Amino acid sequence: MTVEGLTKQFGALTAVDGIDMSIRRGQVHGFLGPNGSGKTTAIRMMCGLMQASRGNISVLGMPVPEQAAIVRRHVGYMTQRFSLYEDMTVRENMRFLCQVHGMKRQRRRERISEVLEQFNLEPLTHQRVGPMSGGQKRRIALAAAVLTQPELLILDEPTSEVDPNTRREMWEHFFNLAQQGTTLLVSTHLMDEAERCHHLTIMNQGRIVADGAVMALKQSLPNQVLEVKGGEVTPMVPVLAALDSVSHVSQVGIALRVLSTKNSARHDILEVLPSGMSVEPVAASIEDVFVQATSEGRRA
Ligand SMILES: Nc1ncnc2c1ncn2[C@@H]1O[C@H](COP(=O)(O)OP(=O)(O)OP(=O)(O)O)[C@@H](O)[C@H]1O
């Protein structure tokens, strides 16, 4: 899938501001950004569910919105809000979806059985979706999104409300699907999930502020990452944040993680640290990349 110059304006607000994106087949492509940065709006345009103000979209080689109807047959989309019918059972929901996609009866039976087994949903087959937990609904929504064996699967925050074990299971499913050739675009706010992706695009205020393979993004971080530990670190947060050479400080357990673009930072920190505390350079994480890439908007 490729998008060029994709833009969406809601009156005076430019929610998506001329983004270029390219997603390779068989990859798990993470889509990150603070709340309101434009991810869902971009996704909705890619699926042909919302008209772009400007720009070109090509999904599986077909232009959108011109061929959106055909494209949608090959794309699975799991929205943030559940698109399941609450009064129907799991099986009834699946049967309905297959019918909408014009799947023949025999094929429909096969696919529903396969998917129910694949996602361990057999015990829930005949239960109504309404009273189920948020996590169960997410699992069912994912199963529903892959019923038609889409070539491209777009998942908008698929693991919110999901417990850690189910989350792990869902990610196993994502990689199995990618292994079989499905392309996945996954929006998430969870940094451990972002670390798992092959490729990441980070948005801020409607623009792409970082894009690349996970390792490459970490290596290209202009900031050095320093870790401060060895005592009462909490009172040191405002002290370090006030230093000119420090751009960001956050506490992680018993340590502080400090971002800086200046070489003098380690020296400056040592000058204000009480004795017994240390400051050492550490490897960058995707959270560091995210904080650096999206900090401009917060400062503004
Ligand atoms: N239909 C709409 N009409 C007007 N403004 C909208 C509409 N849809 C989204 N917006 C605005 O566009 C901006 C981007 O919203 P969007 O939902 O795309 O962000 P997001 O990155 O998906 O956020 P989140 O992480 O919270 O889901 C926000 O300021 C939002 O209020």
For the structural domain made of 2-213, what CATH number should be given? 3.40.50.300
> Ligand 1 centroid vs 2 CA: distance in angstroms?
21
Question: Quick check: CB of 35 below 6 Å from ligand 1?
Answer: yes
CB-neighbour burial class of residue 96 (10 A; exposed 0-12, middle 13-18, buried 19+): middle
Closest CA to 153 of 122, 177, 131: 177
Task: Note the pLDDT tens digit of each residue in 129-156.
Answer: 999 988 889 999 999 999 999 999 999 9
Probe target for ligand 1 pocket from 8, 9, 13, 77, with the most ligand atoms within 8 Å of CB: 13
CA distance 166 to 151: 24
With 0.95 as the threshold, say if the pTM is over it. no
**Is the sign of the CA dihedral 197, 203, 208, 210 positive or negative?**
negative
Q: Whose CA is nearest to atom 25 of ligand 1?
A: 35
Burial readout 46-71 (b: 16 or more C-beta within 10 A, e: otherwise): bbbebebbebebbbbebebeeebeeb
| CATH architecture for the domain at 223-283 | 2-Layer Sandwich (3.30)
Q: What is the pLDDT of the chain when averaged over all its residues?
A: 93
Question: Quick check: CB of 206 below 6 Å from ligand 1?
Answer: no
Q: Domain extents for the chain?
A: 2-213, 223-283
> Ligand 1 centroid vs 39 CA: distance in angstroms?
8
Task: Note the pLDDT tens digit of each residue in 33-79.
Answer: 999 999 999 999 998 889 999 999 999 999 999 999 899 889 999 88
Burial readout 124-151 (b: 16 or more C-beta within 10 A, e: otherwise): beeeebeebeebbbbbbbbbbbbbbebb
Residue 238 neighbours by CB distance under 10 Å: 9
pLDDT at 295: 84
The residues, ordered by sequence, that sit 6+ positions from 121 with a Cβ below 8 Å of its Cβ are: 90, 115, 139, 140, 143
Q: Whose CA is nearest to atom 26 of ligand 1?
A: 35
Q: In the chain, what are the helix, strand and coil shares in percent, each to the nearest 5?
A: 35, 30, 35
pLDDT at 160: 85
ipTM over 0.95: yes
Q: Would you say the CATH fold of 223-283 matches that of 2-213?
A: no
Task: Over range 184-194, report the average pLDDT.
Answer: 95
pLDDT bucket at 223, cuts 50 / 70 / 90: confident
pLDDT at 300: 37
Closest CA to 147 of 200, 111, 172: 111
Question: Quick check: CB of 175 below 6 Å from ligand 1?
Answer: no
